[in-house]
Amino acid sequence: MTDPQPLGAPDSGSVPILELEDVGFRYRSGTAALEGVSLTIRTGEAVGIVGESGAGKSTLLRLLLGLDRPTIGAVRFDGSPLDGRDRRRVRRFRASVQAVFQDPYSSLDPRQRIDRIVGEPLRSLGLEDASGAARRATAALEAVGLPQDAGRRYPHEFSGGQRQRIAIARAIVSNPRLLLADEPVSALDMTTRIQVIDLLAELREQYGLALVLVSHDLGTVAALCERTLVLQGGRVVEAGDTAQILHDPREPYTRRLISSIPRLPR
Ligand code: ADP
């Protein structure tokens, strides 16, 4: 967790990390999950992806993470497409783009010590040996606000919120530039939810981390993201400034999404 890049550093808002250009994706079953989606994620910015269940949010995230390739259109990392044969560049991509998922219970191996779990990306990417990985894991655990001895303990000793902090520590240990978060607080109770949202906001500011947040909850998106993309049936129906979309949505679909949340944070 060395050399944090403050938000607002020169040109920090203008460097595209990941770009989707006119992307379509069709599952083997024939389902067209995405069509004509374009999205640019720049250094330090936070983009929310919203839409009802089945809208294509998870599929979009899988494309951004490189877990699937688009059926049509282009995905670019640092300005050019990823070629699986360029191992060094794939490694740089993996270190630079990390993810956190919804369920903090199933995502941590119960038999592994926390410092080993958190240091795993560094070992598997060949960036550190075991002792270097453990050292950086300890720093990452501190950065997410866990107690000093957390690394020596096991997942079952932690609550849901703490486990999500551990998952976040693992996601930031390789000093990524972009964090993809798929419903990161949906499994948590309301108080813990707010704490984890605050942590994500802090990490963004401290490390200049860009964030893509997938959520069906517009309140969480409003708390974290300046920009929002609304998906319906695999297409972008509305995109732009989060406050504008929340308070003056153009599309009836977006209006319905907004009215389905109990209270709008202003
Ligand atoms: P969301 O995350 O917004 O709920 P998804 O990206 O999971 O939406 O799904 C988009 C569409 O793709 C839906 O119609 C869904 O049924 C379909 N889909 C998702 N995963 C698969 C899969 N593995 N195989 C076939 N169809 C899928």
pLDDT at 44 over 70: yes
pLDDT at 7 over 80: no
How far, in Å, from the CA of 231 to the mean position of ligand 1? 12
How far, in Å, from the CA of 75 to the mean position of ligand 1? 19
Q: Which atom of ligand 1 is nearest to the CA of 62?
A: 6
What pLDDT is recorded for position 82? 85
Domain ranges of the chain: 31-260
Q: Which atom of ligand 1 is nearest to the CA of 29?
A: 25
What pLDDT is recorded for position 180? 97
Task: Report domain 31-260's class.
Answer: alpha beta
* Residue 213 and residue 221 in contact, taking contact as beta carbons nearer than 8 Å: yes
What pLDDT is recorded for position 14? 65
Q: Which atom of ligand 1 is nearest to the CA of 234?
A: 10
Strand order across the beta sheet in which 80-81 lies: 32-42, 16-26, 72-77, 80-81
pTM here?
0.90
Residue 67 Cβ < 6 Å to ligand 1: no
Indicate the range of 63-72, 79-88, 120-129, 230-239 predicted with least confidence: 79-88
Q: What's the pLDDT tens digit per position in 114-162?
A: 999 999 999 999 999 999 999 999 999 999 999 989 999 999 999 999 9
Q: What's the pLDDT tens digit per position in 185-207?
A: 988 998 999 999 999 999 999 99
How far, in Å, from the CA of 51 to the mean position of ligand 1? 12
> Strand pairing partners for 214?
49, 182
pLDDT at 259 over 90: no
How far, in Å, from the CA of 33 to the mean position of ligand 1? 6
